[in-house]
């Protein structure tokens, strides 16, 4: 029976070192190979001309090189962004599908990437949460999303490039911290063809406190955003049952404050306004109290209507009143409009639809 090949893009650098050791190759070759794979983006071992022919064939016996493949491309010009918001549905070698989105903004081009196929946390407002959990993504599968978006962008305009990366796609990044850290390193290695500053990479979490602490200790300079959505414990538990119960607001605040001190960057408190749920004056005052006293800023987000999920966006006047309460107390507040509603830009909608079709559900 032919031996199953490992997709070499799935390996972290330390695993690549071990893999080379296992075939009696010096470990320093791992960095050389990594550069070919993640900077030059070699599509086959034959392209890696600095390796000897025997080594190339040895690698080809045990490994394959399979980045994610684009299965579907959608775009929307109606989402309130300066250009089109574009979403790719990518197929992974084992048939799983994930989404990645390109969001243009003034002076920036942001890649929104997924960290998991599906998600185990089941937040009540989220399409991915309704899919359930499929699996964690490898570092290469996360990095490959940025490549796919970058290729799409540069095909149209060779001068254009991705400037920012946000982990706000499918899944909870801090339930897949190892791969996320490795992908951040892949995407911020200075000498690599695609490289961005770690300060332009934002990891968005529901608030997995031990992992926030761990991330703070890595020395990475990535920014952190937390999906707060309510500063009232019971309300938060109703919206995000698993995460909020396991990681209560008080404990979360300690981790966020520590992260901000370690990185010297404000933590973003993402607050999605839901009509009649978390949009009252009292909600704003509770948020104000929660956010006071540590280095943070608040991002008020419009709800993206999702089929089969019964929440509604707030009126403009409600959003403005909510913002004014926070700003009057000196907090930094931004408003993020709902991008790409016509192409189902809320995380998981396109993939959920595709998985339903392929699973005949
Ligand atoms: S909001 Fe994030 S953490 Fe919650 S279910 Fe959706 S993907 Fe998972």
- 231, 188 in Cβ contact below 8 A? no
pLDDT at 338: 58
Q: Output the average pLDDT for the chain.
A: 90
pLDDT at 106: 86
Measured in whole angstroms, the distance separating CA 8 from the mean position of its chain's CA atoms is: 22
Counting ligand 1 atoms within 8 A of each CB, the residue from 100, 101, 118, 119 with the most, and so the one to mutate, is 119
Q: Which of 86, 96, 99, 265 is catalytic?
A: 99
Q: 341 pLDDT band (50/70/90 cuts)?
A: very low
Domains with residue ranges and CATH for the chain? 6-64 (1.10.150.530), 69-358 (3.20.20.70)
Write the burial class of residue 290 (CB in 10 Å: 0-12 exposed, 13-18 middle, 19+ buried): buried
Q: Which of 86, 182, 296, 347 is catalytic?
A: 347
- 240, 121 in Cβ contact below 8 A? yes
Strands 164-167 and 97-105, sheet pairing:
unpaired
Read off the pLDDT of residues 307-326 as tens digits, 9 standing for 90 and up. Answer: 667 889 999 999 999 999 99
pLDDT at 345: 40
Cα 119 to averaged position of ligand 1 atoms, centre (Å) = 6
Q: 266 pLDDT band (50/70/90 cuts)?
A: very high
For the four alpha carbons of 229, 235, 239 and 245, in that order, the dihedral sign comes to: positive
User: Which residues line the annotated binding site?
Assistant: 119, 123, 126, 171-172, 204, 227-229, 304
- Sheet bearing 333-336, strands edge to edge: 69-76, 85-91, 97-105, 108-112, 164-167, 201-205, 223-227, 267-273, 296-302, 333-336
Cβ(129) – ligand 1 distance below 6 Å? yes
Cβ(206) – ligand 1 distance below 6 Å? yes
Read off the pLDDT of residues 55-112 as tens digits, 9 standing for 90 and up. Answer: 999 999 989 999 999 999 998 765 555 678 899 999 999 999 999 999 998 889 999 9
Higher pLDDT, 139 or 353: 139
- 178, 12 in Cβ contact below 8 A? yes
Higher pLDDT, 290 or 83: 290
Percent of the residues in the chain that have a pLDDT greater than 90, as a whole number: 76
pLDDT at 82: 60
pLDDT at 212: 98
Q: What crossing angle do the helices spanning 316-328 and 281-291 adopt, rounded to 10°? A: 40
| Eight-state DSSP code of residue 59 | H
Which residue's C-alpha comes closest to atom 4 of ligand 1? 123
Q: 343 pLDDT band (50/70/90 cuts)?
A: very low
Would the pLDDT of 333 be above 90? yes
List, in order, residues 6 or more apart from 85 with CB less than 8 Å away: 75, 76, 79, 101, 102, 103, 104, 339, 340, 343, 345
Q: 342 pLDDT band (50/70/90 cuts)?
A: very low
Cα(194)–Cα(153) distance, integer angstroms: 13
DSSP H helical ranges for 162-315: 177-188, 209-218, 233-239, 241-246, 249-263, 281-291
pLDDT at 7: 95
Cα 129 to averaged position of ligand 1 atoms, centre (Å) = 5
CA contacts within 13 A on the Cβ side of 303: 24
Q: 264 pLDDT band (50/70/90 cuts)?
A: very high
Read off the pLDDT of residues 194-216 as tens digits, 9 standing for 90 and up. Answer: 999 999 999 999 999 999 999 99
């Amino acid at each position: 029976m032919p031996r199953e090949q490992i997709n070499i893009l799935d390996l972290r650098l330390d695993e690549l070192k071990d893999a080379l050791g296992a075939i009696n190759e010096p470990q320093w070759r791992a960095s050389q190979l990594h550069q070919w794979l993640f900077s030059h983006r070699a599509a086959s071992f034959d392209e890696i001309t600095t390796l000897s022919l025997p080594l190339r064939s040895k690698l080809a016996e045990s490994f394959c090189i399979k980045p994610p493949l684009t299965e579907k491309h959608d775009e929307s010009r109606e989402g309130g962004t300066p250009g089109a918001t574009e979403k790719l549905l990518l197929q992974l070698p084992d048939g799983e599908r994930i989404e990645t989105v390109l969001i243009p903004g003034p002076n920036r081009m942001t890649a929104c990437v997924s960290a998991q196929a599906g998600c185990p946390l089941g937040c009540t407002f989220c399409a991915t949460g309704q899919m359930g959990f499929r699996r964690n993504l490898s570092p290469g599968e996360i990095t490959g999303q940025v490549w796919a978006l970058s290729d799409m962008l540069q095909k149209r305009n060779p001068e254009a490039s991705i400037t920012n990366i946000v982990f706000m796609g499918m899944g909870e990044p801090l339930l897949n911290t190892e791969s996320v850290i490795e992908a951040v390193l892949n995407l911020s290695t200075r000498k690599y063809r695609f490289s961005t500053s770690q300060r332009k990479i934002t990891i968005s979490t529901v608030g997995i406190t031990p992992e926030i602490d761990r991330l703070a200790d890595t020395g990475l300079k990535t920014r952190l955003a937390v999906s707060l959505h309510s500063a009232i414990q019971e309300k938060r538990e109703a919206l995000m049952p698993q995460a909020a119960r396991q990681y209560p607001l008080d404990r979360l605040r300690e981790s966020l404050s520590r992260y901000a001190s370690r990185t010297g960057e404000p933590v973003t408190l993402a607050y999605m306004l839901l009509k009649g749920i978390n949009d009252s004056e009292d909600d704003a005052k509770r948020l104000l109290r929660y956010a006071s006293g540590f280095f943070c800023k608040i991002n008020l987000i419009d709800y993206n209507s999702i089929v089969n999920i019964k929440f509604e966006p707030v009126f403009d006047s409600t959003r403005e009143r909510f913002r004014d309460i926070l700003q009057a107390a000196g907090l930094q507040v931004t408003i993020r409009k709902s991008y790409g509603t016509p192409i189902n830009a809320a995380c998981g909608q396109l993939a959920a639809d595709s998985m339903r079709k392929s699973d005949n559900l």
